[in-house]
Amino acid sequence: MRDKGEYLFTSESVSEGHPDKVADRISDTVLDTFLAADPYARVACETLVTTNRIVLAGEVRGPDTITPDLLIHNARMAVKDIGYEQDGFHWQNAHVECHLHAQSAHIAQGVDAAGNKDEGAGDQGIMFGYATRETPELMPAPLYYAHGILRRIKELRSIGDRRVAGLLPDAKSQVTLRYVDGKPVGCTSVVVSTQHEEHLEQAEIKAMLRPLLTELLPAGWNVPDEEFYVNPTGKFVIGGPDGDCGLTGRKIIVDTYGGAAPHGGGAFSGKDPTKVDRSAAYAARYVAKNVVAAGLSDKCTIQVSYAIGVAKPLSVYFDLHGTGKDVDEGKLAKVIDGLVNLSPRGIREHLHLNRPIYGITSAYGHFGRTPDLEKGTFTWEKTDLVDELKRAFNR
């Protein structure tokens, strides 16, 4: 995203009831089931959802107590929690198939620690982390507000609030902000498409959602009525997996930074922490957030890269986007290397990733969330490196 001039930038979010997010949730439920039984289980689970059908596939290594019947049951419970009890997609009536099989021995021998060999990366790839001062959570503002709209609808739906009566699980949002010299100064348009019961009309839904928009956007940012687009097609009754097939890992930009920062291409959900697609992306966000939180820069992008079976990152790259506060990026890389071990084992141990903490990550973004020290969730959002970073740069 540019730091000079005036421009518009847009990000989107999708709700937990979006077909792709249903698939993500089920894949992460499978992962949590394995990690609850064995913290060192290996899981790479993909899920497909369509009209009253759920298909699990992929590779696993874990205890025999994790049976296909247990995984099918837990998949149903995930769908029930999302709220699907519709004719075309129902947690109880959907046909569920489990095609998970044993992990490849050739992948396992590259990843497993043995003798003098440390645990290697589960695959090759590049991962990015990003942080910006645009919001208190150090996330890009368009995505922050797009997530916020859908999360608020979900919160109200879950308690049966009459303000959203008749709205159903599947929804999407899109927020466009105006930037001047790299800083958001106002909102120019908002799009919300939400599944609803047959009796609701487009104008009614728009009237329901307008107060939520006023509540969530900063003062003076509310958009005029002609720039608030609600269910632009007019009707959205058939939704969820009945309306559109869903697959794990198809909303990677929603999951990360809304397009404001690069993405390496790998998806997160359904993957255990030996898969650097997930764990290294979490670690990169952790480092970037701490750099910005320490006041070393207003923006920070980090890239790390790995080779399958190799523990040490092949490269670590920092870009402070010209916002560094007298910080040399080369020195910063050395300081971080002394604070955080970016090997797969180092990441999972530092961030305590070998726990069943992933189901909650599958909707409303993996980043910008509040860490829960008791539950051990979103540990990559902690800012516990700030003091050491400040000392290293005499702040």
Is 339 inside a domain boundary?
yes
**How much is the average pLDDT of 106-131?**
72
**How much is the average pLDDT of 68-73?**
98
The answer on 287 and 217 residing in a single domain is no
Is 285 inside a domain boundary?
yes
Write down the pLDDT at residue 93.
96
319 among annotated binding-site residues: no
The answer on 382 and 310 residing in a single domain is yes
**Is pLDDT above 80 for 64?**
yes
The answer on 216 and 284 residing in a single domain is no
The answer on 211 and 296 residing in a single domain is no
Sign of CA dihedral 165, 169, 170, 174: positive
171 among annotated binding-site residues: yes
Is 31 inside a domain boundary?
no
Is 42 inside a domain boundary?
no
Of all residues in the chain, the percent with pLDDT exceeding 90 is 90
299 among annotated binding-site residues: no
CA distance 387 to 28: 34
């001062």: which residue's tokens? 133
The answer on 198 and 176 residing in a single domain is yes
The answer on 357 and 322 residing in a single domain is yes
**Is pLDDT above 60 for 235?**
yes
- Give residue 115's pLDDT band: very low, low, confident or very high (50, 70, 90): low
Question: In terms of residue numbers, what domain contains 194?
Answer: 6-13+140-238
Contact yes or no for 194/168 (Cβ under 8 A): yes
CA distance 146 to 274: 31
CA distance 307 to 377: 28
* pLDDT per position as a tens digit, 247-287: 999 999 999 999 999 999 899 999 999 999 999 999 999 99
- Give residue 105's pLDDT band: very low, low, confident or very high (50, 70, 90): low
Q: Mean pLDDT over all residues of the chain?
A: 94
Write down the pLDDT at residue 104.
67
- Give residue 110's pLDDT band: very low, low, confident or very high (50, 70, 90): low
The answer on 302 and 381 residing in a single domain is yes
**Is pLDDT above 60 for 107?**
no
**How much is the average pLDDT of 77-94?**
97
The answer on 177 and 129 residing in a single domain is no
Domain boundary among 186, 214, 238: 238
Of all residues in the chain, the percent with pLDDT exceeding 70 is 96
Least confident of 10-14, 34-38, 174-178, 391-395: 391-395
Write down the pLDDT at residue 98.
98
**How much is the average pLDDT of 126-154?**
98
Instruction: Return the DSSP state at 368.
Output: S
**How much is the average pLDDT of 356-365?**
98
Is 23 inside a domain boundary?
no
Write down the pLDDT at residue 27.
98
Write down the pLDDT at residue 112.
59
**How much is the average pLDDT of 376-389?**
97
Write down the pLDDT at residue 118.
59
Write down the pLDDT at residue 106.
54
The total number of structural domains in the chain stands at: 2
154 among annotated binding-site residues: no
Report how far apart the first and last C-alpha atoms of the chain are (Å, whole number): 28
Domain of 180, CATH number, reads 3.30.300.10
Is 231 inside a domain boundary?
yes
The answer on 279 and 231 residing in a single domain is no
């003062």: which residue's tokens? 219
| Residue from 124, 122, 68 nearest 96 by CA | 68
Assign residue 176 a region: left if phi > 0, alpha if psi is -120 to 50, beta otherwise?
beta
The answer on 129 and 170 residing in a single domain is no
81 among annotated binding-site residues: no
- Give residue 122's pLDDT band: very low, low, confident or very high (50, 70, 90): confident
Neighbours of 333 (CB within 10 A): 15
Write down the pLDDT at residue 113.
57
Is 148 inside a domain boundary?
yes
Neighbours of 10 (CB within 10 A): 16
236 among annotated binding-site residues: yes
- Give residue 111's pLDDT band: very low, low, confident or very high (50, 70, 90): low
Contact yes or no for 142/100 (Cβ under 8 A): no
Is 259 inside a domain boundary?
no
- Give residue 232's pLDDT band: very low, low, confident or very high (50, 70, 90): very high
């009796």: which residue's tokens? 199
382 among annotated binding-site residues: no
The answer on 287 and 233 residing in a single domain is no
**How much is the average pLDDT of 115-142?**
87
Domain boundary among 238, 263, 293: 238
* pLDDT per position as a tens digit, 165-223: 999 999 999 999 999 999 999 999 999 999 999 999 999 999 999 999 999 999 999 99
196 among annotated binding-site residues: no
**Is pLDDT above 90 for 395?**
no
**Is pLDDT above 90 for 373?**
no
* pLDDT per position as a tens digit, 282-326: 999 999 999 999 999 999 999 999 999 888 999 999 999 999 989
Write down the pLDDT at residue 152.
97
20 among annotated binding-site residues: yes
Contact yes or no for 68/100 (Cβ under 8 A): yes
The answer on 186 and 228 residing in a single domain is yes
Q: Which amino acid, one-letter code, is at 229? A: Y
